[in-house]
Structures are given as C-alpha cells and as structure tokens.
Structure 1
C-alpha cells in the first residue's frame, strides 16, 4: 500500500471507530501524531479525498464526521461459537461483521436484515460492520443433538422430557427443550429435532422442538456420521415418487432411444476411475489423425435423458445439488439404480451419452470441435492405479491390456501438451497431498493412507478441463443463456499480503496489484516448489483466493486462467452439469426467444442454489473427515510425531502431520516462554528466548488430546532435552513457590487450640 493510501486508510479508521464524533484537521493530526507543515498538508489532502468520495461530511465550521450509512441489506448470518458472526449479502463484497451485542438472537443460517453501522474501509482491509435489525427467516429448521433427560419431578414441573444439545460448535451453546409428547428418547440418544421456538430476549440460550427421529445412541456404529449428514441438511432417503420414477426406467437402451443419436459404439472408449468407483460419468478415446493432430473424444453419461425436467427425480436432484462422498459411504444425487446402472458408462453395454469431440494440434490448441448426442459402448473399465503402472512400464499389465496400451501412451503424450499450455497461460496448479481414512466393518477408523496422484489422474483431469472449456466457449460464442463455473480475481488486499510474504523469501513478483494475473501468482508457487517455503506460499495463496461458484455470467476461471469454463462432465453427481446437458439438448432443437427467456430467468437461482448445496456437501465431507481422523488419533495419545507448521494464529500454531492430520498447539501449552504473535511475519515469537514458530517450519510434537465429539486434536511441542529440563525445573520452582505461599497463608490464618490442662 502506498504511503498516501495508508494515511487515507488510517484517517478513515478514526471516523469509523467514532461515527458520531466531529473532528477538525488539527485533531486528526494530533491523533495520528504527525509533525510539520508538510505532514499537515497530507492530512488535509486525505480529508479532501474522503469527503470527495462521500465517506465523510464537513459542516459549516470546517469539522468532519463520518457520512451516515443507514444502508439496510439482507443476507445470511454465519455464526461464530464465541457469539459474534458475519453476514454474507453479496458474492463478491466483503461480509458484514456483527458484534455479539448486535446479533439480535440470530442463529447460524438465518436470513437477516442488517443495518450497516460502519462502512467498509476501501483504503484498508477493514470490512463493514453492522447490527441485525430483523430476522427475516430461520435457515435452521431441524438439527441433530444428544438427548439429556429430565428426572420425573422435572418432567412433571416443566412439561419437558429434557433437552437436546448439538455437537456442532456454532449452535452447541443452545439447549433445545423437548416437550412430553411424541417420541421419548433415552440418555445419549442422537435425536433429529424439528424446531418450533427460537432464541428470544426472554430465553436467549434456549429453543424448543419436537423429536422427529431417533438416530440411535451416540456410541452406536454409524450414528456419528449420520449426525453430521443431518446437521448439514443432506437428504439420505429418496421420496417415494422419485424411487417409483427410477424403477420405471428401463435398465437397457431401447430402440426408440437410439433415434437421433450418433452411434459411436465402434470407437475404443474406456473409463478410467478410482479402484472403488461404482458410477462412471465419463469415457474417453484418442487417436492420432493423418494431419498430426490428436482426436480426443470425451463422452459423458446423458443423465438428463432419464432425469427429466420438473419430474420427482429432478426436483430431488435439485434439492440435493450434488452427491456427497463420505469416508464409508456415498449419498448420491440420484438413486443408485440409475447412478450405478443405466446412467453409468459400464463396460460392454450400450449407453446414451453427450459427446464432445475435439481436434487438438501438437501445441494444445483446439482447432475444431463437435458436441452431439451419441451412443457409446465402453471397451474397458480401467483404474487409475493400473494405468499408472502401465505408463510406468509394468510388463504384466502391458501384456494384459496390449490393445489399449498405444492409446494410453498417446493420451499421456497429449496430457503433457495440454498441461504445458495451461501452465504457460498461468493456470495455478495446487499440489496438496490427499489422504483416505480406512474404516473397519463398524465404521471405526483404523488407518490413514496417503493417495498419490499419478499421470492417469492428471491425464483425465486435463481431458475433462478441455471438454468443459470447449463447451463453455461454444455456447458463449452462440450468445445463448448458459450456466458457467466461475472463479473471480482474488481480493486485492489479500494478494498484497501474499506478495509481501513472498518477498521475504526473496521472490519478487513482476506486475501491478491493480491488475493481478494468474501467471503472477503461479510464478511464486513455481519459484518456491521443493523449498521449505512451499507450504507457506501455497497456504497463503489458497487463503487469498475467492470461492468458485456457479453463475449465469461468463466471468472466467481465475485459478485455471480460463476465459470460459463450465461443468459438463459429471451429471451423475452434480446438478449444474445436468442442467448444462439439458440446455445443450434444448438448444439443438429450439433456440427461440421463449427458450432463451426461460433459461435467463431460471439460471441465477439454479447457480445460487447449486453453489449453496455444494458448500453444504463440502462441510459434511470435511466434518466426517475430521471426525474419523480424530477417532484414529484417539488411540495414539502420547505418541510423538514429525510435522510442519501449517498456520500461525495469536492463540497458537496449527501443525500438519505427514498423514495430513492437523492439530493445534495452543499457546497455553507452549511453556518454555511467553509467545507473542507477529502479524507481519505470521509468526509466534518468544519474548525471552526470541524463538520463532512460523509457517512451513518442521516441528516435532506430542499428541496430548484427541476429542472425537468436538473433532479437535491438541499437540504440545517436543523440546530438545536440555530445553525441556529447564522447563521442568521452572515448573518445580513455581510449584514450590505456590506450595510455600499456601502453607504460609494457612499458618497465618490458623489459631492454636485452647489447652484446658
């Protein structure tokens, strides 16, 4: 930030923190402790700029005051466990901070109206602040929690059976009282509750609800995951009408369905997926053309043919938005009969698909393409692990798949070309280790295995990206309403912080902050690859990025450095892809104004809803992941591990182990010194020893706690023996001092007993 911008920002902060107070230039000068005539001129200039922008007003006597904001906006309240929260009211504008006294008893997920009391500081990093003035609607209508029964006397006195308390941190502080009617849960049961009364001024920490379903005791196998699923509003069971519709759909392709489709069953299409995959969205084929170009065919299961618009299956798929992949189960977007059956590109059977054929030159340019409805027949179901082994030269697998090996080698060749092209244009390639938690037959975590991404995984990713970009560009250039997957430019202030950290590693970024490109950020990642700073730069870059979402506007995909991008390749598990297929079919037959108007009206809501459902699914997947990892670590309390500092906060350091498990070393457990947080260095620094803990630093830690219910893991730093001896000695001295003080106080406060003899 330039010096002038910094001064404007600091000046505005004075007004934001005291919105009712009036200041003259001399008072601002004194508060900022500026000296000299030149400095005073800069203050006056800052005030003039802020007044010109309408941020402050000036009265007839030359005194300045924050401009009134009386702006009221509507958005979703995101609660924090400590009582404050944020309201998201716009996809791109910063969230509004709501202090604890201004929450108006709103709970997480509520739709609220907010009066902005402090506007955002465009010259600095401070977002707006506000107070909730109205709760428009409650987002939380059901929740799952642990039942605590009342005694018979309490039941008679209150008319309540007891209360339910959620394990979710954002709402765990509330008690939901259950009236003595309907279901009668037992102690420790996990209960799904339909809420009938919400927090109020009179009863701020309680709610009331009816017990709808008893999931089972909290210690029963599978109940822990089911609790998280319900907490994230993810449907487990399909409605009867959706099931009936799915059962009426034939499990083979009929003669009628073949009409109007291109039969490409002779093409050597293959699916390449994970070892345990059951539903196959995509199949690929490749051959070298006479002109030296590559023909890449990407065939995607035509789910939209079976899940018809407005049908019960479609309504339920829209509600779910996406399939949810948990440690030991999949909660599908469409019933398994379809997702694993007629909609899955299983080997050796004819299937309906939408195909995107691309002709790609040796430089990775897509010189021509065609998108059309087709019939395919997958020639083989291949797995990532086996294809990786084939490409690595496994003789036995090469012999078993001899007919496919030449095509697989050419696929690997094309992937290298496409990857280079994406990299050259600036696509940011995040390489984070993936881990899979292994569970036993009762769902208990027994191992964590690191999953390596090989050439085959990257290869299929390259082909799907190419198809998604091709489809998006095709319909954008036809000027038809369409649904895009967008990823906007990162926040300027966060990027500035990212560049400042990069400069401390000796990485200088070329280019302007006002016009950040993916290439600028990619260069930082590339220059720190394989160094201790790699984790820091990757972590900070991820934090500075916006969240990808669905939109009817073709805003591009910043992370992929793609001008046009959509989701076309996974209609079995993502509703937006299903909608994209539906539009492709309709536009092939009818591009009339009425069809275009229909999609123009529907797409904004579809995009917003799909983005929201995606977040619900991700939250559930992460929560289950955290739960099972904590469960696995619970058996290892007391063990010592090597790890890396993943992030640093004012209250401690988060450490990531080699198995990707993350836990906290709380500052209260760092007993060798008093540590202070340095925001500029993103580090904790010891006051006496000057020892530094910063992101990317290797560290040895001991597991001291694994709380499965709260999904929290706590570590303490393992010090070298000589440092640990000093800490132990200091503890002894402090204990002795406390013991001596207590003894002295006890003696001083006692009286000798009366001796009558």
Structure 2
C-alpha cells in the first residue's frame, strides 16, 4: 500500500509579503522588533525603506499592533481589539470589532486616550465582566471624522468650537487667523489640525461658516457635513456638461422608435422637478397594453466619464424637506433627462401586453423618442378618477380614457400582487410643508390613493419585466434583493404581538403571506401602526446584488431597479445592461464588478436614508418647539427603565415621558411584557397604549422632545 505523502508546508518566501509577515510573527510566538523581521524574511537593505512603509500600513489597518519597546505584535495574539469607537453622550464608549460575531469592548469614561466617536482604535481588554469585556483605548489608528460640525464661540482671548454631536465631548481651539470670519453663535465646520498625544485641547481651523443655527438651510448643511455627502460638482463634471445639448438632436434619434404620438403622461407629486417615468395604457382586443417610458440617462452619461464617476460616488439623490442633493447636475436631472411635458425626450421603453385578468402575455424593450402629453400630479389624477372633478375632467378630456384604462389595469395588478403575498405595510409617511420663506408650516400625513397605486404597480411591473428578460438572456446585472427575516427576529416580534393580544404562532418558515395575515389581524386596532412599524423593523434591509436571492417584501422571484436612473445609480447599471442585451453585445459589467458595485451602492443608499432621517428629526424638534405646553394624543411605542416613548398621532413626532415626572408611584420595567408597572398601584403603561400628553421641553441640540402625561386613554391599568 502506497504511503500518503506528507503535505509540504509553504515556506515564507512562497507567501505574499503581508501574509509572510503575519506568518513569521505567528511562528515566533511573541512580539518582534523590526530588525528581527528583516532577518526572518531576508529583507535586503535596499528594500527596507519600502518594507517599513508596508509595516506602517499594516499598523494603520489594525493588522499589526505597535507596542512598547518598538515591537510589533498580532492583535489576535494579545488581549487587543481593533474596531470603531461608539461614544455615548455620558462619556462611556464601546469598541465595535469589524467582525460582528466578536463582542464589543466597554470603555469607561476617562479611558478614551483622546479618541473620538467614529475613530478606528485599538483597545486593550483589561477584565471580563458579566456583561462582557472591559478595557481602555491604547491607540487611535484613524480619525473617523475629518470635519466636525459645531458652534463657534468667541471671547476676548480665545475662540473655540463646541461640536454639535454630544458624542464628541471636546472643545476645538481656533487661532485668531483661522476663524474664516465666523461670528459668535454661528454654526461652523471645523477641521482638527493638531490633536497630538498629550495635548488636552485639540487645535483646529474653520473650513466653512454654515450660518445661523435657526435657519433650516443651515441645518441641512450640517447634515450634509455630518454624513460627508458630496454636494459640489468638480471642474471635470462642469466641463462635460458644456458638451451636452439642452434639446434632443436629430442624430440622437437614430435607431429609436418614435412614440411621440403615444399619449404618455408623467404623474408625480406637486413639488417634483425631475421626471424619470411616463406611462400610458391602451385597451386591446386581448386585454391591456402598458407603456412605461424611462428617461434614457445612459445616452448622455457614458461609463467612465466624469459625470458617471461622480454619480457612482454619490450613488443616489438625497431628499430633504427644503432641498435635494441630486445624483446628477440640474442640466440633466431637471433638463434634458427629465421627461418634461410637451418636449421630445429620449427614453428606454418597456411595453407589456396583459390579458384581461392582468397576467403578462408578452414584454418588449426598446429605445424610443417620446413626447410627454401632460405633467399630472397625484392630486389631479385622484380628483379626476375618484372625485370626478368636472373642471379637471374637461381640461384633460383627451387623456381621460387612457387614465381610466390605467386605473383598471393598476387595480388588477395590485390584486394579483397582493394575492401572491406581496407585503403592503400600512405605514403613513409624514410630509413637511414649508411656507414661502422656507420655514416649517406643518407636518401632515402623506396621502396614498389610487393615483399612487397606478404608478407603484406600473413601476413594479416594468422592474420585474426587465429583470426577467436579463435573467433569461444570462446577462449579469444588479438585482434588487430582500432576504427573508431571521427566525429569531420573528420569534421576538411574535412574543411582542402576543403581549398586545394578537393570537400568533411563530411560522416554521418565513413567508410573506404570514406577514400579510399579521397585518390583517391588527388592522383597525389602536396598535396597528405600531405592529406594522415593529414588523418592518424585524425584516432585513433590501440591497443590491448580482445574485438573485429574490425579493421577500414584494414576493417577487425576479426584481431589479430600472425606473429611476436620474436619482439611483443601480438603475443606470441596469439600463446599460439592457441596451447591451438588446444589441447582443457583451455584458458591460462582470459578476465580480457587480458584487463590489452592489456593496458600495447599498451603503450609499443606507447613508442617504440615515441623513434624510436625521434631517427630518431636526425639522420635527424645531416644529415642536412652537408647540410647548400644547396637548396631543399619541401611542406608547417603547418602554425603558427610565420612562416610555410616545409617538404623536398627529405629527409623527416621538418623545419621552420620564418616570421622574410620574409622581403617583414607583414604576419598574417588566421587559417580558413590554410594560412599566407601578409597585403600589399596579398601574401599567405598555407598548400600544394610547395616552394624552403635553409637550414639556424640546432640546434642539440633542433632538429630544420631553412630554408629561395628562391621562391614559385605553388599556387596563
């Protein structure tokens, strides 16, 4: 019987240099001096300067640790953790390792060693407690924030910037020649220029004066800097814009189908300025024909151009109540790429034939020249089709039959989509209304009605049709995917729902139809909004990937984003791929490229959502400041050891009722049943209870609203 050959271990010289360094240190079993590494790895004198630079890079990445005695060690071989620092306003912090499976390290106040919130740091674990590891920061590897938004304070002797974010408990000293003309009380952006070890107060300079903190535009600029949102166009982009025509030229129409006589219309909100999509529906002998024309941005933005690179970097447009940070400059987003009324525009068109029951019979895709016959608003379409407004029906008489066809088809598609399990959470969205001066006038519930359903259903149909076509052709592209929720999350949700009185069982396997049933059971109940909100939180976030793992929320086997290339870069990727497939050319992107693009674009989307959420919070607290002392009805949305959170029904504003303001009893937290219980009276406050509260205080800086309880409106006490 032949002996099995022993697998030969690779020598250090066979390994890539970074791996060889770490392997040499593992074999040594102790921290090493630089000269010891030279010897072990046979680094000649001529290559040592380059080698030292490599070691510094590995230290910066946290793959090596520079310790006392000029030695280098492996973090995994020492009680050290590398991760991002998350600081609490009260002074303590946590180091969160990049590997989410590793526990966070608690850092008590006073042990930050000059590290700030968001920094990449190395922490030493000094003890293990019942709650987890505890330690100290020993080194800052990388500053998380290059620029800090804060308030400028000027005295006779010195000027300082106090960061707006309370997780940055520092003052920044500003020399007299570096104030950039800032005035006392201004909101500014500061850059730290010197925060060397041992320095108690960092020194910096003002890079931009944002202005009066009371101004909404100033607040928007603060969010832009907090999230490092690109908001200026570079010289290369501006130069490229000069070469783009403001009108469709005869040569642009070559090889395109002429759809200018098809009565396509755009339907958007009153304040919309960029129009991605136009639609038209015709009745046929075999059912319906749907046209969805989408702005052909790819015609004007070639891959690798300055416009393309900037759009990819931004990833998406960001929408604030008082401004938009667009993905493309206005000349494109509101001009030649926007499907404005009564002008010719280039479009990629999806033409779908449906049978009388709303089933797809055939889909076609082609580049076209279109002519939008009207710019309609959701309000106008509802007024015509639902309220039967005579004046509007007379004004748009040539389009009425088409709009009625559209409504018929949309409701058929909606019915079929819901029947397959597509989830329709009834979560009202807030809409901020501003006056002519740009000040906050009101926060209202955004309407959702038939006109919205028409556009929603047609966009979903177009997105699915394109995704199916490209999948069948075998072209790699970016799917819009949404994974099923984790069983543990569903189990926690079911436990919460049972505490409200909903008779639910944890599903054996996550299923959209089960989610639909939960929505149906809670419909009409006082806690319906809360159930829907927590149900949404239990689900995973949708993202972009070249791997089709389906879309749980839409119960769709094959889905992508195709319909908004003006404001979403993934749609532009899909447009380019569709054009290549129609011409039978090689795919414009490889699978590996799309993996990286999917990760980047999903992250940009999350950043945009977080920035939009923060801006809305800033608007909310400023709005509520004008309502101090007023009473509102709300629902308890969360309970903690220090009080309970209330979300106002009228304004979607969340605030806290603190236990210190409840004088009738001592309350303790019953975590299992999501409630607070009075020790003496047995009185309870639980998630889902409706309460009447008064606005007691508004903290603009921390974006906190404090309520005081007037009375409990429902639920057993």
Q: Per the alignment, do residues 570 and 77 of structure 1 end up closer, same or farther by CA in structure 2, a change over 3 Å counting?
A: farther
Matches of 1:538 and 1:128, distance apart in 2: 36
2:553 counterpart (559, 564, 579)? 559
Paired position in structure 2 for 1:146: 151
1:718 Cα offset (Å): 0.6
Paired position in structure 2 for 1:191: 188
Matches of 1:435 and 1:116, distance apart in 2: 45
Query: Is 1:149–1:187's contact at 8 Å kept on the other side of the alignment?
Result: yes
1:617 counterpart (608, 620, 631)? 608
1:405 counterpart (400, 408, 423)? 400
- Could you list the per-position Cα deviations for residues 610-642 of structure 1 after superposition, in whole angstroms to 9, with x for gaps in the alignment? 222222222222222222221122122111111
Paired position in structure 1 for 2:659: 667
1:460 Cα offset (Å): 0.6
Q: Per the alignment, do residues 664 and 69 of structure 1 end up closer, same or farther by CA in structure 2, a change over 3 Å counting?
A: farther
Matches of 1:653 and 1:360, distance apart in 2: 51
* Residue correspondence of structure 1 range 310-329 to structure 2 within 5 A: 310-329=304-323
Matches of 2:579 and 2:232, distance apart in 1: 30
Paired position in structure 1 for 2:622: 631
TM-score, normalised with respect to structure 1: 0.77
Structure 2 residue 704 is the aligned partner of structure 1 residue 697: no
Structure 2 residue 158 is the aligned partner of structure 1 residue 164: no
Q: Per the alignment, do residues 209 and 266 of structure 1 end up closer, same or farther by CA in structure 2, a change over 3 Å counting?
A: same
1:536 Cα offset (Å): 3.2
- Could you list the per-position Cα deviations for residues 1-57 of structure 1 after superposition, in whole angstroms to 9, with x for gaps in the alignment? xxxxxxxxxxxxxxxxxxxxxxxxxxxxxxxxxxxxxxxxxxxxxxxxxxxxxxxxx
Query: Is 2:297–2:337's contact at 8 Å kept on the other side of the alignment?
Result: yes
Paired position in structure 1 for 2:280: 285
Paired position in structure 1 for 2:243: 248
SS of the equivalent of 1:612 reads helix
Matches of 2:460 and 2:377, distance apart in 1: 19
Q: Per the alignment, do residues 128 and 324 of structure 1 end up closer, same or farther by CA in structure 2, a change over 3 Å counting?
A: farther
1:652 Cα offset (Å): 1.8
Paired position in structure 2 for 1:707: 699
Q: Per the alignment, do residues 401 and 131 of structure 1 end up closer, same or farther by CA in structure 2, a change over 3 Å counting?
A: farther
Query: Is 2:264–2:372's contact at 8 Å kept on the other side of the alignment?
Result: yes
Single out whichever of 173-182 and 693-702 deviates more from structure 2.
173-182
1:75 Cα offset (Å): 6.7
1:687 counterpart (674, 679, 704)? 679
Matches of 1:463 and 1:473, distance apart in 2: 15
Paired position in structure 2 for 1:533: 527
Paired position in structure 2 for 1:216: 211
Query: Is 2:107–2:136's contact at 8 Å kept on the other side of the alignment?
Result: no
- Could you list the per-position Cα deviations for residues 503-531 of structure 1 after superposition, in whole angstroms to 9, with x for gaps in the alignment? 34554446744x21122122111111011
Instruction: Give the root-mean-square deviation of aligned CA atoms.
Output: 3.1
Query: Is 1:279–1:345's contact at 8 Å kept on the other side of the alignment?
Result: yes
* Residue correspondence of structure 1 range 146-545 to structure 2 within 5 A: 146-152=151-157, 155=158, 162-171=159-168, 173-182=169-178, 183-197=180-194, 202=198, 207-219=202-214, 222-292=217-287, 294-392=288-386, 393-509=388-504, 512-513=507-508, 515-545=509-539
1:353 Cα offset (Å): 0.9
Query: Is 1:638–1:703's contact at 8 Å kept on the other side of the alignment?
Result: yes
Q: Per the alignment, do residues 445 and 165 of structure 1 end up closer, same or farther by CA in structure 2, a change over 3 Å counting?
A: same
Single out whichever of 500-509 and 384-393 deviates more from structure 2.
500-509
* Residue correspondence of structure 1 range 581-596 to structure 2 within 5 A: 581-589=575-583, 591-592=585-586, 595=587
Structure 1 gaps, min length 5: 1-67, 120-125, 156-161, 722-757
SS of the equivalent of 1:663 reads strand
Paired position in structure 2 for 1:52: none
Query: Is 1:535–1:646's contact at 8 Å kept on the other side of the alignment?
Result: no
1:207 Cα offset (Å): 4.2
Query: Is 1:567–1:576's contact at 8 Å kept on the other side of the alignment?
Result: yes
Query: Is 2:81–2:97's contact at 8 Å kept on the other side of the alignment?
Result: no
Q: Per the alignment, do residues 641 and 435 of structure 1 end up closer, same or farther by CA in structure 2, a change over 3 Å counting?
A: same
Matches of 1:443 and 1:241, distance apart in 2: 32
Single out whichever of 669-678 and 456-465 deviates more from structure 2.
669-678
Q: Per the alignment, do residues 89 and 457 of structure 1 end up closer, same or farther by CA in structure 2, a change over 3 Å counting?
A: farther
Matches of 1:384 and 1:312, distance apart in 2: 35
Q: Per the alignment, do residues 693 and 347 of structure 1 end up closer, same or farther by CA in structure 2, a change over 3 Å counting?
A: same
Paired position in structure 1 for 2:642: 651
Paired position in structure 2 for 1:100: 107
SS of the equivalent of 1:295 reads strand
- Could you list the per-position Cα deviations for residues 521-580 of structure 1 after superposition, in whole angstroms to 9, with x for gaps in the alignment? 221111110112313321221221112222222222221122222111111111211222
Paired position in structure 2 for 1:748: none
Matches of 1:117 and 1:468, distance apart in 2: 54
SS of the equivalent of 1:718 reads strand
Paired position in structure 2 for 1:84: 93
SS of the equivalent of 1:693 reads strand
TM-score, normalised with respect to structure 2: 0.81
SS of the equivalent of 1:498 reads helix
1:165 Cα offset (Å): 2.1
1:246 Cα offset (Å): 1.7
Query: Is 2:151–2:187's contact at 8 Å kept on the other side of the alignment?
Result: yes
- Could you list the per-position Cα deviations for residues 41-94 of structure 1 after superposition, in whole angstroms to 9, with x for gaps in the alignment? xxxxxxxxxxxxxxxxxxxxxxxxxxx99899987655544433464747xx66
Matches of 2:530 and 2:581, distance apart in 1: 47
Q: Per the alignment, do residues 297 and 73 of structure 1 end up closer, same or farther by CA in structure 2, a change over 3 Å counting?
A: farther
Structure 2 residue 596 is the aligned partner of structure 1 residue 605: yes
Query: Is 2:106–2:132's contact at 8 Å kept on the other side of the alignment?
Result: no
Query: Is 1:510–1:520's contact at 8 Å kept on the other side of the alignment?
Result: no
SS of the equivalent of 1:584 reads helix
